């Protein structure tokens, strides 16, 4: 989050005014939560900059020019600590180590001028040991210290941590706010795709913007055609696999495939699909629910193998063979 630019989006304005008008009587433990793409990281960055700013009351926003704001921009602020998973640990379920949380104790106990801010992201990555270590800091935070935890959902945190934090939801977005934001920030050629992008992004505008830039969104129909060939003709899995290994990176391919597979399962369960522009009926006739769940399970296992440096093209080869449903 240290590279994240601070910003308060229109749907967060009420929470911003609530926090800044009550400051400093807001408690020392804050939880900002919301689905991916709601802008919680930018909001947290703006709020911590405001708390640390020496001229914050002039316009109710960080001035950007005082010593504190300049320190923050240079990522050298002595009163700010950012805790996350290790940079070199890219695993899906990487945890925040207990040592990082223990190291907070000297920081919160030292006497300094001004406020101190600690940001922990993603808070879901706290394991039992690091959560227990954090409790001590939450119970004895020291003067003028604010702890900010960021999470996709507050229920993913241990109850002992949740009960010591004030909760602020940042993904409560009116549909007209979302649509207007995308009309303003997307090129006109994407305007017709806004309902689809919102479906794929769980109605989160920043995630929708991110998806609009993904190659795979425009290639879904082509992949569905190849998938239909695989399961109806039962041949050429390696040729099709080779084609898609060239078309998309492994991460983009798996992201696309997971969306399509989830929708295919929804069709079998008679539920609404996210890819509203694609007809899944031909594929739905070819697979049982059990077969689809088996494919999903295999894909999750394959993603773990990628983290162990197994080549992505081999994983896609195996998947295409599996999709023939022999």
Write the DSSP string, 137-201.
HHHS--TTEEEEEEES-GGGS-HHHHTTSEEEE-----HHHHHHHHHHHS-GGGGGGHHHHHHHT
Q: Residue 234, by phi and psi: left (phi above 0), alpha (psi -120 to 50) or beta? A: left
* Range among 4-8, 159-163, 256-260 rated most confident: 256-260
Q: Are 225 and 251 in contact (CB under 8 A)?
A: no
Cβ neighbour number for residue 90 with a 10 Å cutoff? 9
76-99 pLDDT tens trace: 999 999 999 876 555 666 888 898
Rounded distance, CA 77 to CA 48, Å? 11
> How confident is the prediction for the chain on average, in pLDDT?
91
Tell me the domains of the chain and their CATH numbers.
10-169 (3.40.50.300), 184-212 (no CATH), 216-323 (1.20.272)
Q: What is the pTM of this model?
A: 0.89
Check whether 266 has a pLDDT greater than 70.
Answer: yes
82: helix, coil or strand? strand
Q: Which two tokens stand for residue 274?
A: 């996210």
Give which of 201, 202, 225 is closest to 213, Cα–Cα: 201
Kindly state the helix (H) or strand (E) to which residue 120 belongs, with its residue range: strand 116-120
Check whether 279 has a pLDDT greater than 60.
Answer: yes
Check whether 1 has a pLDDT greater than 80.
Answer: no
- Residue 2 pLDDT level (bands cut at 50, 70, 90): very low
Q: Which two tokens stand for residue 142?
A: 């020291």
Greatest Cα pair distance, the chain, in angstroms, is 72
Rounded distance, CA 132 to CA 123, Å? 13
Kindly state the helix (H) or strand (E) to which residue 307 belongs, with its residue range: helix 289-307
94: helix, coil or strand? coil
């Amino acid at each position: 989050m240290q590279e994240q630019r601070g910003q308060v989006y229109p749907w967060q304005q009420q929470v911003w005014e609530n926090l800044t008008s009550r400051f400093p009587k807001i408690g020392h433990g804050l939880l900002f939560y919301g689905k991916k793409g709601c802008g919680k990281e930018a909001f947290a960055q703006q709020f911590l900059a405001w708390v640390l700013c020496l001229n914050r009351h002039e316009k109710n926003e960080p001035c950007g020019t005082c010593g504190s704001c300049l320190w923050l921009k240079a990522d050298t602020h002595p009163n700010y600590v950012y805790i996350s998973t290790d940079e070199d640990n890219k695993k899906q379920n990487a945890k925040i180590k207990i040592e990082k949380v223990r190291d907070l104790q000297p920081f919160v106990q030292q006497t300094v001028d001004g406020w101190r801010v600690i940001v922990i992201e993603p808070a879901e990555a706290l394991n039992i040991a690091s959560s227990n270590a954090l409790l001590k800091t939450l119970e004895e935070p020291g003067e003028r210290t604010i702890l900010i935890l960021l999470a996709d959902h507050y229920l993913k945190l241990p109850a002992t941590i949740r009960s010591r934090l004030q909760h602020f939801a940042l993904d409560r977005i009116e549909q007209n706010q979302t649509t207007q934001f995308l009309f303003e920030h997307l090129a006109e050629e994407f305007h017709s795709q806004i309902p689809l992008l919102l479906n794929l992004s769980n109605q989160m505008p920043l995630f929708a913007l991110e998806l609009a830039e993904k190659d795979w969104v425009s290639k879904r129909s082509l992949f569905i055609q190849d998938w239909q060939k695989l399961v109806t003709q039962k041949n050429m899995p390696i040729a099709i696999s080779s084609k898609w290994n060239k078309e998309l990176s492994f991460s983009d391919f798996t992201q696309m495939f997971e969306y399509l597979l989830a929708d295919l399962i929804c069709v079998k369960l008679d539920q609404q699909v996210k890819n509203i522009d694609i007809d899944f009926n031909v594929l739905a006739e070819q697979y049982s629910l059990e077969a689809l769940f088996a494919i999903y399970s295999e894909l999750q296992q394959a993603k773990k193998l990628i983290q162990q440096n197994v080549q992505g093209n081999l994983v896609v080869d195996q998947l295409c063979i599996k999709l023939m449903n022999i």
